[in-house]
Amino acid sequence: EYASKVIVFVRNDRFSGQKVLQDRVLSNPKVEIRWETSVDAIHGVDDGEVNGVSVTDLASGETSRVDLQGVFIYVGLEPNSDYLSDVVELDIGGHVPTDIWMQTPMSGLFAAGDIRQHSAAQLVTSAGDGATAAVAAHRYIEGLP
């Protein structure tokens, strides 16, 4: 709606997000998907205006520059929390429950950012979560015998 073309660079050979969102992206004629591609650098940052990216085709190793006018960085919609399933009860979406100090139900285990339940899934709020968790963890450690 707001752009004539959108290029999505995906490191894998498929999406890992919600199926309904995948279908919307894949059916949009304005969206070009570049599978197995990593973004290595963003150009124009020093000039104050993004004008391109350097990418690597992970299958061939070939690198190239793609001219563009904006970059949105987004990595996944599903939390990578499977390794915690034996440690703390996750919600149905795989998120970790926390209190306002980012403390999980397990004493001494803190969670911050998109992995936690009720996260706004924004960089700035994840940074705030991290700061809160660090303060809480420091207080927790100071209180240990």
Could you tell me which CATH class the domain 82-142 is placed in?
A: alpha beta
Q: For position 130, what pLDDT does the model report?
A: 94
Domain ranges of the chain: 6-67, 82-142
- Extended strands (E) in 16-79: 31-34, 37-43, 52-57, 63-67
Give the C-alpha separation, 88 to 104, whole Å.
Answer: 8
One-letter amino acid at 130 equals: G
Copy the structure tokens of residue 78. Answer: 């599903």
One-letter amino acid at 64 equals: S
Place of tokens 């390794």: 83
Give the C-alpha separation, 68 to 6, whole Å.
Answer: 9
Instruction: Read off the pLDDT of residues 32-76 as tens digits, 9 standing for 90 and up.
Output: 999 999 999 989 877 778 999 999 999 999 999 999 988 887 766
pLDDT at residue 29 is higher than 90: yes
CATH 3.30.420.10 corresponds to the domain 6-67: no
Instruction: Read off the pLDDT of residues 112-138 as tens digits, 9 standing for 90 and up.
Output: 999 999 998 888 999 999 999 999 999
